[in-house]
Amino acid sequence: MFDNVRALDVGYGNVKYVASRTQSTLTCKLFPSLAPRAVEMDLAGDFVRKRDTKRVVVNGIAYEVGPDVKLAQKGSEIGRMLQENYCLSEHYKALVYGGLLHMTRSHELEVLVLGLPLNTYLGYKDPLAKAFTGTHILDAEGRACTVKNVVVVPQPLGGLYDYAFGTRQLSVVKKSTSLVIDPGFCTLDWLVAEGTTPNDARSGARAHGGMSEVLKDVMEQVALDAECTIDELGGTERIDAALRDNLPIRVFGHALTVRTNADYIKLAQARAKDALQAMLERIGSIGDIDNIILVGGGSYVYIDVLHSYFPKHNIVVFPDSVFSNVRGFQLLGEIWLAKRGMH
């Protein structure tokens, strides 16, 4: 009964999607938010594993998307898009098409749930819903998917529903004031909700307040420690992954030993405080907040800073918090469908 509802969280950093859904389980996966032009040459053969990507077609142009997309990207090619109108770009559409090919074999969806940061939600939710409602030819082989309804929600609302259902405390959440904090790749989003109803006056987003900005000072210090330029380091992904998993940062094949990962995280936390301060000013009083939920892949940077700002609160971080929003999107889509008596 769940095959006709699917959720996609297309962020600036990664695309998170619901890979499978049963009565008791909800499995999610992700791939980088990269969509280079499809490479014609593929060196995979009998002894080489073929890269895990899908080739999609948008407006006659073939793009390659998926977990192994970096293997299809030219060294000089521009990576992620960070524009405000990102959700209406061909790049975004290619990522959605790739997500549809990865997550469902169905030719028809009753509901597709997408999310937007709070700073672009009001301006783009209707155009985004319109853009993905209807029949889409996904690739050159003619595989198609018809989407009957597109539901667009604020990204942190997914985190709130994931918390409410994951803790089996929906009835408690409905009588509480909750704060969901979502440090994404580009933006820091936060949502204050009375029950499950957002408080617009206290919610908001800080553009350039996410992990890509937070890691800038870390990148500069790593470049100094490695005696190289920032460009030689490549993107932030490898450093982010090393810090998140507490592994050595490697440059030119060697592990940096100048300072510890904790030292680099302190640099990131110092930059994170700028965006969090803007959040605190918008929220105002914090004594009436009952639940604080931290979602997203940047939790390892933000959690200690948030404990200093909210010393009397319990801050909840779910396992695999990078998937919190998309898990909540799936639940919101199922609720949307059930309320309309549709199956």
DSSP characters over 59-80: TTEEEEESTTGGGGS-TTS---
Q: According to the model, what pLDDT value does residue 83 have?
A: 67
Q: According to the model, what pLDDT value does residue 79 have?
A: 52
The amino acid that residue 330 corresponds to is: Q
Q: Within a domain: residue 186? A: no
Distance CA 268, CA 209 (A): 11
Q: Within a domain: residue 304? A: no
Domain of residue 26, CATH code: 3.30.420.40
Are the C-beta atoms of 303 and 190 separated by less than 8 Å? no
Question: The tokens of 250 are what?
Answer: 């490697």
Are the C-beta atoms of 10 and 117 separated by less than 8 Å? no
Q: According to the model, what pLDDT value does residue 335 have?
A: 93
Q: Within a domain: residue 85? A: yes
Q: According to the model, what pLDDT value does residue 297 have?
A: 84
Angle at which helices 299-309 and 261-283 cross, to 10°: 50
Q: Is the dihedral of CA 224, 296, 187, 58 positive or negative?
A: positive
Query: Strands, DSSP E only, in 38-118?
Result: 54-58, 61-65, 108-116
Q: Within a domain: residue 229? A: no
Q: According to the model, what pLDDT value does residue 23 have?
A: 82
Q: Within a domain: residue 183? A: no
Q: Within a domain: residue 197? A: no
Q: Within 10 Å of residue 301's Cβ, how many Cβ atoms?
A: 26
Q: According to the model, what pLDDT value does residue 303 have?
A: 95
Q: According to the model, what pLDDT value does residue 51 have?
A: 80
Number of domains in the chain: 1
In sequence order, the 6+-apart residues with CB closer than 8 A to the CB of 102 are 17, 19, 29, 31, 54, 66
Q: Within a domain: residue 83? A: yes
Q: According to the model, what pLDDT value does residue 172 have?
A: 86
Q: Within a domain: residue 72? A: yes
Q: List the chain residues with pLDDT less than 50.
A: 46-48, 76-78
Expressed as residue numbers, the domain containing 89 is 5-156+324-339
Q: According to the model, what pLDDT value does residue 1 have?
A: 57
Distance CA 157, CA 180 (A): 8
Q: Could you give phi then psi for residue 159, rounded to 5 degrees? A: -60, -35
